[in-house]
Amino acid sequence: MKRIIYCSQATYDIAPGELVTLLEGSRRNNEAAGLSGMLLYSSQSFLQVLEGDPAALAATYARIETDDRHSNLRLLLDAEVAAPLFPDWTMGSSTSTTRTSPTSSTVSHRPPSTRW
């Protein structure tokens, strides 16, 4: 099993409805590929953790590299891991609700077993 973490800048301010559509598609794609992860979005910045089969991760990251919603894509971690951090999440997410309070967020998907 492998884990990657990347960050990027959105090329434009993604509207809440578009972000929901993006997450729904990511959850479908990740489930089909056997991937799990978490996406954070705030102030036109993405941070994402993806975990799973190395070949599926490589294909997913290659797709992200060509996605015109991303710029300044940087791979922060690419490592073999013993176990996933997000085994029950096809794609958990959080978005900042205000630009002035970094601790204020809404979580749009959280498995019942997770404690914050």
Mean pLDDT of 18-33: 91
CA dihedral over 17, 21, 27, 33, signed as positive or negative: negative
Amino acid 96: pLDDT: 54
Q: What are the structural domain ranges in the chain?
A: 2-86
Contacts of 50 (CB under 8 A, 6+ apart): 3, 4, 5, 30, 35, 36, 37, 57, 60, 61
Mean pLDDT of 3-28: 94
Amino acid 5: pLDDT: 97
CATH class, 2-86 region? alpha beta
Instruction: Indicate if the pLDDT at residue 103 is higher than 70.
Output: no
Question: pLDDT tens digits for 84-97?
Answer: 998 887 776 656 54
SS3 helix, strand, coil % of the chain, rounded to 5?
25, 40, 35
Question: pLDDT tens digits for 33-83?
Answer: 999 999 999 999 999 999 999 999 999 999 999 999 999 999 999 999 999
